[in-house]
Amino acid sequence: MQGVIQTGTRNYLEARSEFQKAHARARWLGLVDRLLRRCRRLCALNDMAAEPVGAACLRQAAGLAHPRLVPGPRRLVEDVLLERVIGSLGRADDYTADFLPRRGSDEERWARVRVALDSLEGVPPIELYVVGGDYYVKDGHHRVSVMKRMGLRRVEAYVTRLVPVG
């Protein structure tokens, strides 16, 4: 996404409209979830322990040992199913569990990513952590959000495996 994207083009304006629909859906689902007292938030990868927050809570509640996870020895380029991308490192509150954007301030960036995906230039691979069979976004939140909204099934990613220590 190094090139210049013309912000007045039809594609860009359509992308902004698509963002507004996705953002409105995220707000609507958030309201419904609050009314029904449901929690369907994006999984968070705990920054300190590099472990899913929900898993850490379950382990503590069950009185189980809490292993620390660290990056494995190498990063691999993989073709990953988007449905397996379930969480985030540091931005879980910015997206719904389906990666719909919650922050209205993301509109311009989201629209630029959408236009870039349709261009010959494309976008670079995202960066993911994998724990078990679940993937967490380190870099590429907007790209995942746009790709899921477009109905794409796969994404190219640099994947770092997290392994338990101690």
Per-run averaged pLDDT (10 residues), the chain, 166 residues: 63 93 90 76 62 44 54 85 93 92 94 92 93 92 97 96 79
Looking at residue 164, its pLDDT comes to 77
Q: Which two tokens stand for residue 56?
A: 């850490």
The CATH number of the domain holding residue 131 is 3.90.1530.10
Residue 87 lies in a domain: yes
Residue 39 lies in a domain: yes
Residue 124 lies in a domain: yes
Query: How far is Cα 103 from Cα 108, in angstroms, rounded to an integer?
Result: 11
Domain membership of residue 62 as a residue range: 10-165
Looking at residue 105, its pLDDT comes to 93
Global pTM?
Answer: 0.77
Query: How far is Cα 164 from Cα 51, in angstroms, rounded to an integer?
Result: 10
Q: Which two tokens stand for residue 109?
A: 């960036």
Are β-strands 68-81 and 154-165 bridged in parallel, bridged antiparallel, or unpaired? antiparallel
Query: How far is Cα 85 from Cα 103, in angstroms, rounded to an integer?
Result: 20
Specify the number of domains making up the chain.
1
Looking at residue 39, its pLDDT comes to 67
Q: Which two tokens stand for residue 97?
A: 């569990």
Residue 100 lies in a domain: yes
